[in-house]
Amino acid sequence: MADVEKYFDLVNQDQQAFIETLREVVAIPSVSGDAARRPDVVRMGEWLQARWEALGATCKRVDPGKQNLHGEILDLPPVILGQYGNDPNKKTVLVYGHYDVQPALIEDGWETDPFVLVEKEDGRLVGRGSTDDKGPVLGWLLCAETHKKAGIEMPVNLKFCFEGMEESGSEGLDEIIVEEADKWFKGTDVVCISDNYWLGKNKPCLTHGLRGVSYFHLQVEGPGADLHSGVFGGTVHEPMTDLVHLLSKLVDVNGKIQVPGIYDQVMPITDEEEETYNNLEFSHTALASDLKNDVLIHAEERDTLKHRWRFPTLSIHGVEGAFYASGDKTVIPAKVRGKFSLRTVPNMEPAKVAELVTKYLNDEFAKLGSKNKMQVIETHGGRWWYSSPKHPNFVAGAKATEKVYGVKPDLTREGGSIPVTLTFEENLNVNVLLLPMGASDDGAHSINEKIDKRNYIEGIKLLGAYLHEVANTDLSA
Amino acid sequence: MADVEKYFDLVNQDQQAFIETLREVVAIPSVSGDAARRPDVVRMGEWLQARWEALGATCKRVDPGKQNLHGEILDLPPVILGQYGNDPNKKTVLVYGHYDVQPALIEDGWETDPFVLVEKEDGRLVGRGSTDDKGPVLGWLLCAETHKKAGIEMPVNLKFCFEGMEESGSEGLDEIIVEEADKWFKGTDVVCISDNYWLGKNKPCLTHGLRGVSYFHLQVEGPGADLHSGVFGGTVHEPMTDLVHLLSKLVDVNGKIQVPGIYDQVMPITDEEEETYNNLEFSHTALASDLKNDVLIHAEERDTLKHRWRFPTLSIHGVEGAFYASGDKTVIPAKVRGKFSLRTVPNMEPAKVAELVTKYLNDEFAKLGSKNKMQVIETHGGRWWYSSPKHPNFVAGAKATEKVYGVKPDLTREGGSIPVTLTFEENLNVNVLLLPMGASDDGAHSINEKIDKRNYIEGIKLLGAYLHEVANTDLSA
Ligand SMILES: [Zn+2]
Ligand SMILES: [Zn+2]
Ligand SMILES: [Zn+2]
Ligand SMILES: [Zn+2]
C-alpha cells in the first residue's frame, strides 16, 4: 500500500479524535476584534505552537507589537512561524492559516453556543471558526501528527505561518513576511493557503485568482457647519445634492461602470478561459434562494461568475457625515463623504484606476457648477492576484483532489481579496495555491458557521495528499 | 404721562432686576431632551406657575402623560395654562412660550458655564435659554409684574400657555390645545408668540409666514441581507446604486426641484409682495461670512429670501441602512432609505405634494429597470402658515414696535416651521402674530447662546406696548 493510502486509512480511523481536537480549539474564543478576548487569541496561538513543538517542529513566535483597538492599547497576538522537517533532498512547502475568528454571540441568532462545537445529525460540525480557519489550520497539524503516528515519512519539508489577526486586517503580518522572506521562509518552493471555499456545496475546487480593490472617498464640502434645511434649503449649494449627482454617474443599475477607460485594461477572455466556465458547480436557482430575493443582473450563470471573478465592478457603500439614523432629521450636512470601491482584475493598475476615477469625477463636478469643494481620496489600492492553473503547484493540487474526491476540481477565482496571497507571491517569488477545505454554504462570517464532517475529514486527507503530490511533481516544469 | 410711557420708565429703572430674574431661570437647566434633567424641566414649569400665581393669576397645570425617551419611561413636563385678568370689557390675548431649552455642555465649546448667565461688556447676556425661549417667556411675566408694581391696569386679559417640551417635539401639546380650545382658551381674541428672531442684528420685525415640511423616506430593498461587494458586486442590483440614481433626479445643484408639477401650486409674487423685500436688514456679505464659505446659490439678497420664505425647496438629508462610519467597509447594503424633505409654501397641499413626489419616483424607478423593490414613504406632511400682515393684530404689533424702537418693523417670513402657530390658528380660529424679541445672531441652538441686553429690555417694553396697542385696536377691522 502506498504511503498516501496508509495515511488515508489512518485518517478514517481517527475521525472522531479529529473532531474532538476541533472541539478543543473551537472552545477557545479567539476573537481578534474583541479586546476582552485578546488573551484567548494569544492562548490559541500558544496552543498551536505547543502542539507543533510536541511533534518535533521548530517554532518561532513573532510578536508584531502594539495595536490601538478603539482607544485601548493591546499587544498584537503572535505570528507562529514553524519548520517541520529540514531535509535538503525534499521540497519545501509553506502553508499559511489564521487561528483567530470572527465575533460570535448567541444573541446574534446562533442555534447553540458558538464556542461549543456541535455535531449535527446531517453531518454539520457547527461552531465559530470550524471552517474559518481553525478546521484547515488543524488539517496541517493533524496531517503531520498522523504521519508520525503511522510511521510514514513526511514527503516534504513543511514551513508554516499562522497568524491571529486575519479577521482584523492582518495587522503586522506583511512586515513579518517581508522581513522573513530571506530568513525563515528561505528555501520555500511553493505556498499553499487553505482559507477560502468551494464554489458550491459538493464539488471541490482550486482557486487561482483574486480581485484587487481600490477604495475611494468622494468628499463634498460646503458651509462651515451643518445647516437647518428650513432656513437654508434652496439658498446654498448642498453637499448631499452634489454628492448624489456624482455618485449616480459612477455606475448604472446593471453594474456597468461609467468611468471612461476603466474597461480598457481588462484582459480579454480567451476560448481556453471560456471553457473553464463549463460544468462548474454553480446555479442561479441556489444563488437567488440564498439571496432571498432574485435581484440577479445576469441571465447566465457564467456571466454572473465572470462579473464576480474577472470583470471590474463598482459598489457604493454609503455616506459619511450625513443623517443616517432612523426617523426624520431636517439637516443639511455640511461635509459628506460618499464611499465606493472598485474590484479590479488583470491587467488593471491601481494607480491608473485612481487616475481615471479622479479625472472623471473632477470633470463631472465641474459640469455641475457648484460652489462647494470636491475631492476624490483613494484610501486603498490593492492589486488583484492571478496564477495560471497550469502551474505544477496547481497540477499537484488537482491530482490530490482527484485522489481524495474522485473528481477533477473546478477551477475558480474569487471576487474578493486575500491580500496575504499577493504578499507571499511577491516577496517569496514562488507560486501560491489556494486549496479550500470548506463548502460555499459554511457561513464563515455568519451565525451557525459550520464545516461538514465530510469536508473536514476528506480535507485532512486532501492536505496530506497534496504534500505527497508536490513531492512527486517537477515544480520547474 | 400715558400708561405705556409709565411702564417704559419702570422697565428702564428695573433693568438690573430683570437681568437677575433671567439669571435665576437660566440657572435651572431645563433640558427636555435629557432624561436626567427632567426634574429640572418640571421645576422650571413650577417656578413659572408659582410666580404667576403670586401675582394673582389663575393657573392650571396639565400633565400630558408619559414619554419613552431612549427606552426610559418619563413623565412629560407640565403645560402651564394661565389666566391673568378676566374683564369682559377687555380683549383677551393668548401668549405662548416654552420653558425648556436645548442641551448645552461646556465641552461643546461654551466660553462659560451655559447655565450661569454672564453679562458681557458688549451687552450680551450669555446663557442657555436666554433668547430661546426663557427671555421672551419672562417678558410676559415681568410685563405683568411691572404693571402691578406701577399700579397701571393691564390693558387686556392675558391667557398663557407655556410648555416644557418644545425642543423635543412638543409632545402632548397639540392634544391639549385641541382639548382646551373651547374651554381654557375660550374667548381668546388674538394669539402672540415670541419664539423666533429678527432677520438681522439691529432691526425689529414681525413674522407672518412659515413654510410647511413634507418628509419622505425613499426605500430601496434588494437582497435579504447585506452582501460582500467582493463576491456580489456587479452581479446583483445594488440598492445604493438605485438610490443614488433616484435621489439625483429630485433636485438640481441650484436647488431647482425636478418633480413635475411641484411649482404649479405656488402662489405668484405680487408687486405688493415684491415691495416688502425692499430695505430688509439682510446682506449676503454677512450671510456668507456666517457660513464660513460662500456657497450661496443666488446673486441677489431678495432671491435668497424668496427661496427661504416663499418658494418650495428640497433637501437630501442622508441615507439610513448604508455604511456611515469613518474608514472603509466593503458592504453592499441590502436595504437603504434615502431621507429628503420639501419645504412647502402657499398654496401647496401636502397630499398633492406626496402624490407628485411618489408618482415621479415610481416613474423614474420603472425607467431604471432594476429588480429591487422601491417604496416612497411620506413620514410627515405639515402645512405652511401664512397670515396677512395687514391684519389688526399685526398692525398692533407694528405700532408697538415703532413706539419702542422708533422704526417700522421688517415684515418677515421663516423658512422653517413653528407647528404650534398653525395649531392655535386652526383650533382657536383667531389670528396669530409672531413677535420676536431676539436677534438673528443669538445662536438659539448653538454654543454661547445670548440675548442682547437691548433686545431683552426693549423686548419687555415691546410685549407690554403690544398689549396696549391691541387694547386700542379694532380687531374686527
Ligand atoms: Zn479566513
Ligand atoms: Zn474570515
Ligand atoms: Zn424656541
Ligand atoms: Zn429652540
Q: A437: CA distance to ligand 3 center in Å?
A: 64
Which residue is closest to A366 within chain B, CA to CA? B253
- Given a contact cutoff of 8 angstroms between Cβ atoms, the answer to whether A295 and B236 are in contact is yes
Nine cell digits for residue B452: 442682547
Phi, psi of B328 (to 5 degrees): -120, 135
Contact between B414 and A317 using a beta-carbon 8 Å cutoff: no
A252: domain CATH number is 3.30.70.360
Q: Is the pLDDT of residue B476 over 90?
A: no
Q: Which of B348, B368, B344, B371 is nearest to B249 (CA)?
A: B368
Q: B129: CA distance to ligand 3 center in Å?
A: 9
Spatial distance between the Cα atoms of A100 and A42, rounded to a whole number of angstroms = 9
The SS3 of residue A126 is: strand
Residues of B in contact with A251 (CB under 8 A): 241
- Given a contact cutoff of 8 angstroms between Cβ atoms, the answer to whether B251 and B390 are in contact is no
Amino acid letter, residue B56? G
Nearest to A341 among B236, B330, B379 (CB): B330
Q: Is the pLDDT of residue B163 over 90?
A: yes
The minimum CA-CA distance between A465 and chain B, rounded to whole Å, is 29
| Average confidence (pLDDT) over B88-114 | 96
pLDDT in tens, A275-307: 989 989 899 998 999 899 999 999 999 999 999
Which is catalytic among the residues A14, A100, A242, A469? A100
Mutate to test the interface with A, among B108, B244, B311, B367 (most CBs of A within 10 A): B244
Nearest to B253 among A235, A245, A315 (CB): A245
Which residue is closest to A254 within chain B, CA to CA? B237
Confidence band of A268 (pLDDT split at 50, 70, 90): very high
Spatial distance between the Cα atoms of B476 and B461, rounded to a whole number of angstroms = 25
Q: Is the pLDDT of residue A30 over 70?
A: yes
Query: Is residue B292 domain-resident?
Result: no
Query: Is residue B280 domain-resident?
Result: no
- Given a contact cutoff of 8 angstroms between Cβ atoms, the answer to whether A475 and A189 are in contact is yes
Q: Is the pLDDT of residue B1 over 70?
A: no
The partner residues of A341 in beta bridges, in order of sequence, read: A215, A315
The SS3 of residue B164 is: coil
Residue A71 is predicted with a pLDDT of: 86
Contact between B235 and A318 using a beta-carbon 8 Å cutoff: no
Query: Is residue B229 domain-resident?
Result: yes
Which is catalytic among the residues A14, A40, A166, A226? A166
Q: Scanning the structure block, which residue is given the C-alpha cell 453679562?
A: B119
Residues B373 and B231 in one domain: yes
- Given a contact cutoff of 8 angstroms between Cβ atoms, the answer to whether B442 and B131 are in contact is yes
Query: Is residue A171 domain-resident?
Result: yes
Please give the tally of structural domains in chain A.
Answer: 2
Residues of B in contact with A231 (CB under 8 A): 308, 414-416
Query: Is residue A290 domain-resident?
Result: no
Residues B135 and B200 in one domain: yes
Q: Is the pLDDT of residue B175 over 80?
A: yes
Percent of chain B with pLDDT over 70: 100
Which segments of A82-172 does DSSP mark as H helices, in order?
135-150
Q: HEC profile for B20-72?
A: HHHHHHHCCCCECCCHHHHHHHHHHHHHHHHHHHHHCCEEEEECCCEEEECCE
Spatial distance between the Cα atoms of A288 and A5, rounded to a whole number of angstroms = 40
Nine cell digits for residue A379: 484610501
Show the CA angle centred on residue B471, arms to residues B465 and B475, nearest 5°.
115
Phi, psi of B157 (to 5 degrees): -80, 135
pLDDT in tens, A78-118: 999 999 999 999 999 999 999 999 999 999 899 999 999 99
Binding site per annotation, positions of A: 98, 132, 167, 195, 228, 330, 343, 417, 445
Spatial distance between the Cα atoms of A454 and A331, rounded to a whole number of angstroms = 55
Query: Is residue A273 domain-resident?
Result: no
Domain boundary among A322, A351, A382: A382
Q: How far is CA B129 from CA B18, B22, B24, B443, in A?
A: 15, 9, 11, 10
Contact between A341 and B326 using a beta-carbon 8 Å cutoff: no
pLDDT in tens, A243-257: 999 999 999 999 999
- My answer on whether omega of the bond before B347 falls inside 30° of 0, hence cis, is yes
Residues B393 and B355 in one domain: no
The SS3 of residue B127 is: coil
Contact between B234 and A296 using a beta-carbon 8 Å cutoff: no
For chain A, first and last CA: distance in Å? 28
Left (φ > 0), alpha (ψ -120 to 50) or beta: where does B98 sit?
beta
Q: Is the pLDDT of residue B445 over 90?
A: no
Spatial distance between the Cα atoms of B450 and B446, rounded to a whole number of angstroms = 10
- Cβ-in-10-Å burial (0-12, 13-18, 19+) of A78 comes to buried
Amino acid letter, residue A280? L
C-alpha torsion A288→A289→A291→A294, nearest 10:
40
Contact between B333 and A339 using a beta-carbon 8 Å cutoff: no
Q: What is the DSSP string of B168-192?
A: GT-TTHHHHHHHHTTTTTTT--EEE
Nine cell digits for residue B318: 442622508
| Average confidence (pLDDT) over B201-223 | 97
Confidence band of A450 (pLDDT split at 50, 70, 90): very high
Mean pLDDT, rounded, of chain B: 96
| Average confidence (pLDDT) over A419-437 | 97
Q: Which of B440, B387, B437, B427 is nearest to B193 (CA)?
A: B437
Residue B237: HSE in the Cβ half-sphere, 13 Å Cα cutoff: 26
Q: Which of B146, B120, B167, B97 is nearest to B434 (CA)?
A: B97
- Given a contact cutoff of 8 angstroms between Cβ atoms, the answer to whether A166 and A133 are in contact is yes
Binding site per annotation, positions of A for Mn(2+): 98, 132, 167, 195, 445
Residues A256 and A188 in one domain: no
Q: Is the pLDDT of residue A440 over 70?
A: yes
- Helix (H) and strand (E) counts in chain A: 14, 20
Q: What is the ipTM of this complex?
A: 0.91
Q: A283: CA distance to ligand 2 center in Å?
A: 24
Q: Is the pLDDT of residue B312 over 80?
A: yes
Residues B261 and B151 in one domain: no
B462: domain CATH number is 3.40.630.10
Q: B397: CA distance to ligand 4 center in Å?
A: 22
The partner residues of A68 in beta bridges, in order of sequence, read: A73
Q: For residue A182, indicate whether it is catalytic.
A: no
Nine cell digits for residue B270: 405680487
Spatial distance between the Cα atoms of B386 and B393, rounded to a whole number of angstroms = 14
- Give the structural domain span for B50: 3-210+385-471
Nearby residues of A133 by Cβ (< 8 Å), 6 or more positions away:
A97, A98, A99, A166, A194, A195
The minimum CA-CA distance between A184 and chain B, rounded to whole Å, is 32
For chain B, first and last CA: distance in Å? 28
Query: Is residue B272 domain-resident?
Result: no
| Average confidence (pLDDT) over A369-391 | 96
Percent of chain A with pLDDT over 70: 100
| Average confidence (pLDDT) over A200-215 | 96
Phi, psi of B324 (to 5 degrees): -130, -10
pLDDT in tens, B48-60: 999 999 999 999 9
Residues A96 and A241 in one domain: no
Contact between B294 and A328 using a beta-carbon 8 Å cutoff: no
The minimum CA-CA distance between A447 and chain B, rounded to whole Å, is 13
- Given a contact cutoff of 8 angstroms between Cβ atoms, the answer to whether B190 and B395 are in contact is no
State the ligand closest to the CA atom of A420. Answer: 1
Residues A159 and A146 in one domain: yes
Spatial distance between the Cα atoms of A459 and A445, rounded to a whole number of angstroms = 20
Residues A349 and A434 in one domain: no
Residues A322 and A203 in one domain: no
- Given a contact cutoff of 8 angstroms between Cβ atoms, the answer to whether B235 and A297 are in contact is yes
Q: B424: CA distance to ligand 4 center in Å?
A: 18
Spatial distance between the Cα atoms of A372 and A357, rounded to a whole number of angstroms = 19
Nearest to B316 among A213, A225, A244 (CB): A244
Nearby residues of A143 by Cβ (< 8 Å), 6 or more positions away:
A7, A460, A463, A464, A467
Q: Which of A96, A98, A83 is nearest to A154 (CA)?
A: A83
Query: Is residue B282 domain-resident?
Result: no
Spatial distance between the Cα atoms of B127 and B450, rounded to a whole number of angstroms = 6
Q: Is the pLDDT of residue A69 over 90?
A: no
- Tell me which DSSP letter residue B84 carries: E
Contact between A223 and B291 using a beta-carbon 8 Å cutoff: yes
Binding site per annotation, positions of A for substrate: 195, 228, 330, 343, 417, 445
Cβ count near B121 (within 10 Å): 5
Mutate to test the interface with B, among A324, A326, A380, A383 (most CBs of B within 10 A): A324
Residues of B with catalytic function: 100, 166
**Distance from the Cα of residue A238 to its chain's centroid:** 39
State the ligand closest to the CA atom of B102. Answer: 4
Binding site per annotation, positions of B for substrate: 195, 228, 330, 343, 417, 445
Residue B279 is predicted with a pLDDT of: 87
Residue A279 is predicted with a pLDDT of: 87
Q: How far is CA A137 from CA A61, A134, A171, in A?
A: 17, 5, 19
Spatial distance between the Cα atoms of B64 and B164, rounded to a whole number of angstroms = 11
Cβ count near B103 (within 10 Å): 15
Confidence band of A476 (pLDDT split at 50, 70, 90): confident
Residues A33 and A43 in one domain: yes
Residues A465 and A429 in one domain: yes
Confidence band of B7 (pLDDT split at 50, 70, 90): very high
Phi, psi of A323 (to 5 degrees): -70, 130
Which residue is closest to B299 within chain A, CA to CA? A235
- My answer on whether omega of the bond before B410 falls inside 30° of 0, hence cis, is no
Q: Is the pLDDT of residue A1 over 70?
A: no
Which residue is closest to A293 within chain B, CA to CA? B223
The partner residues of B332 in beta bridges, in order of sequence, read: B227
Q: Scanning the structure block, which residue is given the C-alpha cell 425617551?
A: B69
Amino acid letter, residue A92? T
Contact between B343 and A368 using a beta-carbon 8 Å cutoff: no
Percent of chain B with pLDDT over 90: 95
Which segments of A248-349 does DSSP mark as H helices, in order?
271-276, 284-290, 301-309
Residues A318 and A188 in one domain: no
Q: Is the pLDDT of residue B5 over 70?
A: yes
Residues of B in contact with A213 (CB under 8 A): 230, 330
Q: Scanning the structure block, which residue is given the C-alpha cell 414619554?
A: B67
The minimum CA-CA distance between B391 and chain A, rounded to whole Å, is 25
Amino acid letter, residue B118? V
Contact between A416 and B247 using a beta-carbon 8 Å cutoff: no
**Strand B79-84 versus strand B385-386 pairing type:** unpaired
The SS3 of residue B248 is: coil
Spatial distance between the Cα atoms of B50 and B68, rounded to a whole number of angstroms = 28
Number of A:B CB contacts under 8 A? 274
Domain boundary among B382, B399, B423: B382
Show the CA angle centred on residue A43, arms to residues A40 and A44, nearest 5°.
90
Contact between A339 and B319 using a beta-carbon 8 Å cutoff: no
Domain boundary among A347, A382, A417: A382
- Buried/exposed code over A254-264 (b: 16+ C-beta within 10 A; e: otherwise): ebebebeebee
| Average confidence (pLDDT) over B204-232 | 96
Q: Scanning the structure block, which residue is given the C-alpha cell 446593471?
A: A254
